[in-house]
Structure 1
Amino acid sequence: MDLVVTSMGSVFEDIVGSSEADGFISLVGLAVGDKIQAEYLNAKGTSQLDRAEMVDALLDMRRRIGSTSYVLEDSAQRIVLGNNRCPFGDLAKKFPSLCMLTANVCGHLAAESQGYARVDLPETIAAGASECRVVIDLDPETVGHGRRYHRRARA
């Protein structure tokens, strides 16, 4: 799976550039997020994860793809995850748009659980930091940077 994702990211960045690759990888992240969300909901036998289950799902998902994520902050307004091992290895330094894949999965899971999420990656291994920081703001009134996610309407 990692080989497919990293190859896909590198091909898109080479052909259309980093910005456009981010958009495509965002769509892939949404599709992956849907599948992961469904797995966790089925395992719990519920239609929505509560806050603690959502945090557990975020950590488990990131562990499954090969990162070593841990909670740096967990408050009513935000969750901050740290990670000191990139699941994409050195390829992320060459193709930083791959960071959008895990960011979008985190945003999707958090928004579906909590109604809203904004995800920012202020530090990434891909950009040369020693670890990644994934900031997930849960309050839409909080000022900050990042990509916004909203719970989708249910039928």
Structure 2
Amino acid sequence: MEANLFKELNLPLDRDIFLRNLLRELSGTLEEVIGKEEASGFISIVGQHIGEWINDEYKNTLKTDSLSFEQICNTLVDLKQRINGDFYIISADKDKIVLGNRSCPFGDKVIDRSSLCMMTSNVFGTITAENNGYAKVALHETIATGKPECRIVVHLTNNEISDEDQGREYFKS
């Protein structure tokens, strides 16, 4: 029967590829219809909700009401690794966490879709602010804009350095 032939076809099509293409086309359509800034705003809302959900999952699993500084750092890296990102800590101190990333969870579907970076900004910002009280996330370099790696700074305190850095601020709800 011909159906058996189709099961053996070597097509680059599975749920992961389908969903990444869906997100790419959705973000691209939003960027074209309403503009990149407005598209980023819509994706930010989704990112905030996802950040709240992920934060609750980690706190519940770790059986804590609030993540410590070390747990925040580990959560940001771990969550991205679980979704096929390659994030790592470059440096971390009382004022900021600097992260790098060698592989975007969206894969090549993120190229020229910088609005998708609002997922990272809002997930990182929401998790950090909910546990630290404040966060400012600056996306210094992104794979979406053609860089080979991402460089993300998560400011933990509102000070002169964070004031000078362009990014989005997040506060505990």
Task: Report the TM-score, using the length of structure 2 for normalisation.
Answer: 0.83
Q: Which residue of 1 aligns with 2:26?
A: 8
Q: What's the CA shift string for 1:37-66, capped at 9, x where partnerless? A: 110111011211111111111111111222
Are 1:31 and 2:52 matched, yes or no?
no
The one-letter amino acid of 2:151's match is: R
Give, in whole Å, the separation in 2 of the partners of 1:106 and 1:6: 21
Once the two structures are TM-superposed, the CA of residue 3 in structure 1 deviates from its matched residue by 4.2
Q: Which residue of 1 aligns with 2:166?
A: 145
Gaps of 5+ in 1: none
Give, in whole Å, the separation in 1 of the partners of 2:57 and 2:100: 24
Q: What's the CA shift string for 1:84-128, capped at 9, x where partnerless? A: 111122222221110111111001111111111100011111112
CA radius of gyration, larger in: 2
Give, in whole Å, the separation in 1 of the partners of 2:80 and 2:46: 16
Give, in whole Å, the separation in 1 of the partners of 2:129 and 2:99: 16
Q: Which residue of 2 aligns with 1:96?
A: 114
Are 1:106 and 2:98 matched, yes or no?
no
Q: Which residue of 1 aligns with 2:139?
A: 121
Q: How many residues align?
A: 152
Q: Work out which of the residue numbers 88, 100, 103 in structure 2 matches 1:70.
A: 88
Equivalence map 1:50-89=2 (5 Å): 50-89=68-107
The one-letter amino acid of 1:64's match is: R
The one-letter amino acid of 1:65's match is: I
**Tell me, what secondary structure is at the counterpart of 1:126?**
helix
Identity of aligned residues (%): 39
Give, in whole Å, the separation in 1 of the partners of 2:61 and 2:25: 31
**Tell me, what secondary structure is at the counterpart of 1:94?**
coil
Task: Report the TM-score, using the length of structure 1 for normalisation.
Answer: 0.92
**Tell me, what secondary structure is at the counterpart of 2:143?**
coil
**Tell me, what secondary structure is at the counterpart of 2:105?**
coil
Give, in whole Å, the separation in 2 of the partners of 1:129 and 1:2: 20
The one-letter amino acid of 2:120's match is: T
Q: Work out which of the residue numbers 142, 153, 161 in structure 2 matches 1:135.
A: 153
Gaps of 5+ in 2: 1-18
- CA RMSD in angstroms comes to 1.3
Give, in whole Å, the separation in 2 of the partners of 1:2 and 1:56: 25
